[in-house]
Amino acid sequence: MTHSKVKWFLYVLFGFLVAFSTVSCEGPEGPQGEQGPQGEQGPQGEQGPQGEQGPQGEPGQDGQDGQDGEDANTYVYVYDHPVWQAGTMDLTLEELTQEVLDYDTILVWLGYAVDGVDNAVYYAVPGLHGGDNYYVKMWMNPGIIHMKALQWDNDLGTYVTYLSPENPSSAKVVIIDSANIIEEGGGTHSALSGQNVIEQMQRDGIDTTDYNQVARYLGIE
């Protein structure tokens, strides 16, 4: 056999051995392995920018200018046709400062028309309204009087918001300056707080929940 034929034979034999080795090493594909454990959670990303501010709620109803009482220390503010909103009502009053809240007497009534606003029957706040069907609660902050209608729930054993109270024809807010109050008969006395004024009126036989009695006592309409 010549040298070139031997060389050619070796090349063929070497290729055959390589192909055989490749085929014999490849077995069938095995099954997929089990999923590895979940990695640890990465760090929290930075907080996104603050969203836009929502629209401002509707302001409470403004009262009319106050009427001075005979002693020039009593002021009456009238609200025509205030409206309940889901059992709550707010009356805004610029004159209701923190000093007034701390020292003066503030009385509130809701009026329900009989023959019109002028002949309204007034019920004190806080107190029972709607034929004693619900109770009107009140609390105050500078510049605003908050009210909520409440009804007793026998199942819950507590008061819940009464969502459909009768809308009054008017509301009246009376502010009595505690510094100098005129008594019936023309005398005067000093008072340090709203409670002192209430007690003095009651000593004079005035039902402070009755608007008509208070109005006559103070010389207001």
pLDDT tens digits, residue range 74-91?
999 999 999 999 999 999
Domain annotation covers residue 25:
no
Domain annotation covers residue 15:
no
Q: Kindly tell me the burial class for residue 53, based on how many C-beta atoms sit within 10 Å of its own C-beta (0-12, 13-18, 19 or more).
A: exposed
Number of domains in the chain: 1
Domain annotation covers residue 32:
no
pLDDT value at position 198?
87
* pLDDT band per the 50, 70, 90 thresholds, residue 4: low
Domain annotation covers residue 131:
yes
The least confident of 15-24, 34-43, 132-141 is 15-24
pLDDT value at position 41?
56
Domain annotation covers residue 43:
no
Domain that holds residue 189: 61-218
pLDDT value at position 192?
44
Domain annotation covers residue 139:
yes
